[in-house]
Amino acid sequence: MKSYEVNFDGLVGPTHNYGGLSYGNVASQSNSQQSSNPKEAALQGLAKMKALMDMGFQQGVLAPQERPDVAALRRLGFAGSDAQVIQQAAKEAMPLLVASCSASSMWVANAATVSPSADTADGRVHFTAANLNCKYHRSIEHPTTSRVLGAMFANPQHFAHHAALPAVAQFGDEGAANHTRFCRAYGEAGVEFFVFGRSAFDTRYPAPQKYPARQTLEASQAVARLHGLREEGVVYAQQNPSVIDQGVFHNDVIAVGNGEVLFYHEDAFLETDKMLAELSSKLAKVGGKFQSVCVPRSAVTVDDAVRSYLFNSQLLSRPDGSMLLIVPEECRGNERVWQYLQGLTGAGGVIREVKVFDLKQSMQNGGGPACLRLRVALNETELAAVNPGVIMTAPLYESLTQWVERHYRDRMTENDLADPQLLLECRGALDELTQILKLGAVYPFQIN
Ligand code: SUG
C-alpha cells in the first residue's frame, strides 16, 4: 500500500504579534514590541503550503486558535462582559493580555507528537497534544489543539488521540519539535527519536544553566508509552545543554531528520556517537540504512544556526530517492550558512537541492519552515479517512487567501490587542474558517 508524509501547516492567526513572550528564544526576545503584519504572515505561510503542493507533496492545513483567549483571562480573575475582560486586562496586566492574544499555535510542530500506525501496538496513528507547559501563552493551546486534531482525524478506527500530559514542568512536552522518525518507507515500521533537554526525576542528567529546557525525558517516555511504541523502535537522546543556553530552545533548531537521514549540528547532542550507533542498529532491524550528515562547527557555528535557522528546515524525500531542503530566507543572508549549503548540494550526497522561502513574519518570533508544519505519516487508507476539508488543493488555497485578505489587519501593535473589536473580528473570521475547513464547532465561542 502507498504511504505518504503529509505536512499539515499551521495557518497564522489574525492576532500575530511580537509579544517577547519566549525567554530562551532569541528571535522572540529581540523583536519584542515591534509591530507585526498578520496578513503578510498568513500569506507567507500559505505561499509555502501552495508551493509544496505544487511540487507534488501532500499538504494539509491546521486551523489557528481563538484569540484573545477571553476564557483564559476569566480564569485569571478578569470579569464582566468580554469587552470588559479585555479592557481590564489591558489596564491592569498588559503582559497577560498579550499572552492571551498570541498566535503561537501557528507553530504546529509543537501541537502534538504523532506516531504512525506502522509503529504503534494497536496499528492506529497516535496523537498526543503537547502541554507546552514551559510558557503560559503556549500552555493554553492544547484544549483547542485537541479539538481541532479530533475534527481533522476523526475516525477512531484509524486515529487515537491522547490528552496532553499533566500540566507541570516535570512533564514539559513540546511535541514534534523534539521528535523525529526514521524509516525506510513512511508506511513501514520505523525508529522514533525523542530528544529531551533535561530529566525531571533523575539528577544524573545535566541541565542548562541559563535558559529553560522545555522537554523532559519523562514526558518523552510517557508519550512513547501512550503510543504503544516498542522499545526496539525508540531512541532517546539528550540535547547538549550548552546549545540550549545559546538559544536552541527545541531540537528542531539544531537538527532535522527524514527517511533514513539525520541532518544535525556537531554540537547538537550529548553522547553523539552512542546515539548514532543506536539509531543505526535499530533502523537496521527494520530494514533501514541510517545515514547522518553532520554540520561541523568550523563551517557553521551554533550562533549561525540559531540566527539563520538552517536546521529548522524541511527535509523532504523526492521520488528519485534524493532529498530537498526547504530553508528560510535568513539562510541565504548568512554567508557561512549559504556557502555550506552550496557545498552540501554540490557534493553528490543525498541532499541535492535547497529551496528558499520568505517566512520573515514567523521567523521574527523564532518560527521557521519546520516549526510551521506537523508531519503525519499516513497510508492510503488513513489518508482517505482524514477530513478532506483540511487537505490543500488549488481551490482551498484560493479560498484561504481570499479569507485572509478579507479578515486580517496588516499592522498589529499592543494597542490593537486592547481593542475589543479585535475579538469580534477574529471570531467572525474563525467562524467562517471552520466552514471553509469543514471542522464543525471547535472554538470556545462556538461551543460554550
Ligand atoms: O514557542 N515563539 C515560539 C516559537 C516556536 C517555534 N517552534 C519550533 N521550534 N518548533 C515559542 O517560543 C513567541 C511569541 C511571542 O514572543 O510573541 C513564541 O511563542
Question: What is the model's pTM?
Answer: 0.98
Question: Which residue in 137, 250, 265, 407 is the catalytic one?
Answer: 250
229 pLDDT exceeds 90? yes
Q: Is the pLDDT of residue 256 over 90?
A: yes
What pLDDT was estimated at residue 222? Answer: 99
Return the percentage of the chain with pLDDT > 90, whole number: 100
Nearest protein CA to atom 12 of ligand 1, as residue: 22
134 is catalytic: no
The yes-or-no answer on residue 142 being catalytic is: no
Mean pLDDT along residues 168-179: 98
The per-residue pLDDT for range 33-57, each reduced to its tens digit, is 899 999 999 999 999 999 999 999 9
Query: pLDDT tens digit string along 294-340?
Result: 999 999 999 999 999 999 999 999 999 999 999 999 999 999 999 99
Name all domains of the chain by residue range, CATH numbers in brackets: 3-67+102-230+361-447 (3.75.10.20)
What is the pLDDT, as a whole number, of residue 175? Answer: 98
pLDDT at residue number 448: 78
Over residues 135-140, mean pLDDT: 98
For atom 1 of ligand 1, which residue has the closest CA? 22
pLDDT (tens digit, 9 = 90+) per residue, 387-445?
A: 999 999 999 999 999 999 999 999 999 999 999 999 999 999 999 999 999 999 999 99
Residue 199 Cα to ligand 1 midpoint, Å, equals 22
Average pLDDT, the chain: 98
HEC profile for the chain? CCEEEEEEEECCCCCCCCCCCCCCCHHHHHCCCCCECHHHHHHHHHHHHHHHHHCCCEEEEECCCCCCCHHHHHHCCCCCCHHHHHHHHHHHCHHHHHHHHCCHHHCHHHCEEEECHHHECCCCEEEEECCCCCCHHHHCCHHHHHHHHHHHCCCCCCEEEECCCCCCHHHCCCHHHHEEEECCCCCCCCEEEEEECECCCCCCCCCCCCCCCCCEHHHHHHHHHHCCECHHHEEEEEECHHHHCCCCCCHHHCEEEECCEEEEECCCECCHHHHHHHHHHHHHHCCCCCEEEEECCCCCCHHHHHHHCCCCCEEEECCCCCEEEEEEHHHHCCHHHHHHHHHHHHCCCCEEEEEEECCHHHHCCCCCCCCCEEEEEEEHHHHHHCCHHHECCHHHHHHHHHHHHHHCCCCECHHHHCCHHHHHHHHHHHHHHHHHCCCCCCCHHHHC
User: How confident is the model at residue 146, as a pLDDT?
Assistant: 98
Q: 304 CA distance to ligand 1 centroid (A)?
A: 18
Each residue's pLDDT tens digit, 262-273: 999 999 999 999
How far apart are the CA of 26 and the centre of ligand 1, in A? 10
**pLDDT at residue number 66:** 98
pLDDT at 102: 98
Q: Atom 10 of ligand 1 has which residue's CA nearest to it? A: 371
Distance 427 CA to ligand 1 centre (A): 23
Atom of ligand 1 nearest to the CA of 367: 6
Per-residue pLDDT reduced to its tens digit, 369-389? 999 999 999 999 999 999 999
Atom of ligand 1 lying closest to residue 102 CA: 17
Residue nearest to atom 7 of ligand 1 (CA): 371
Compute the distance from residue 366 Cα to the ligand 1 centre, in Å: 5
pLDDT at 358: 98
pLDDT of residue 142: 98
**Active-site residue, 66 included:** no
What is the reported pLDDT for 171?
98
Residues with C-beta less than 6 Å from any ligand 1 atom? 18-22, 25, 28, 102, 104, 107, 109-110, 138, 177, 250, 252-253, 365-367, 371
